[in-house]
Amino acid sequence: MTEATDATQASTGELQTIVAARLLTQARSVFIGVGRPSTAALLARMVHNPDLVLVYESGTIGAKPYHVPLSIGDGELAETADTVVSVPEMFNYWIGTGRVQVAFLGAAQVDRHGNLNSTVIGDYGHPRTRLPGAGGAPEIASFCQEVVVIAPHSPRTFVERLDFRTTVGFGDAAGDRERLGFTGKGPTSACSPPGNPTPPTPRRPS
């Protein structure tokens, strides 16, 4: 047997992409952004789930890109989509009613209850790092049937307490999701590359 060389060994990011793609083996639809979630969804569709419907925040439904999109506004997404809808329709009709089965979300920080921070690192008024912000993550985490968190597996990411809560996973207390009117299951897993210690699975407060 030929030993793997450095040129053939997959990086941690590539392994995480493969794990995320495998989570979509039985999925009917997935809501994704650019980066690793998009790459994972493309891989899943090309390898083991050709009927997977890719849904992007820009309004493309059923996109079939061959290349990894440069952004959610990449022309190939619209050119290959089954349909293109407005952003208000995307969130009110498709996301808000639970029509999308799985959503991938990333974050700079994740706590044990699956709450996410994509706003700032440090104090909000004087942050060490200012991040892109919520985008559509709060609505996606609230109403998509299932959420999978894809984030670097490190103590800097999986923290005891968020510097800022951008997106509610399970909140702080039992029943928070129900009290807020969220209909989706919330975060069901955090994706980790093979060989790494499994990151904490988001759980409901007791």
Catalytic, out of 57, 89, 139, 146: 57
Report the SS3 class of residue 89. helix
Q: How far is CA 105 from the centre of its chain?
A: 2
Alpha helix stretches (DSSP H) within 6-64: 12-22, 36-47
Q: Which residue has the tokens 């493969």?
A: 18
Backbone angles phi, psi at 21, to 5 degrees: -65, -40
Is the Cβ–Cβ distance between 193 and 12 less than 8 Å?
Answer: yes
Is the Cβ–Cβ distance between 52 and 28 less than 8 Å?
Answer: yes
160 has catalytic annotation: no
Nearest C-alpha neighbor of 104 from the set 31, 39, 202: 31
What is the residue type of 104?
Answer: F
Enzyme catalytic residues: 57
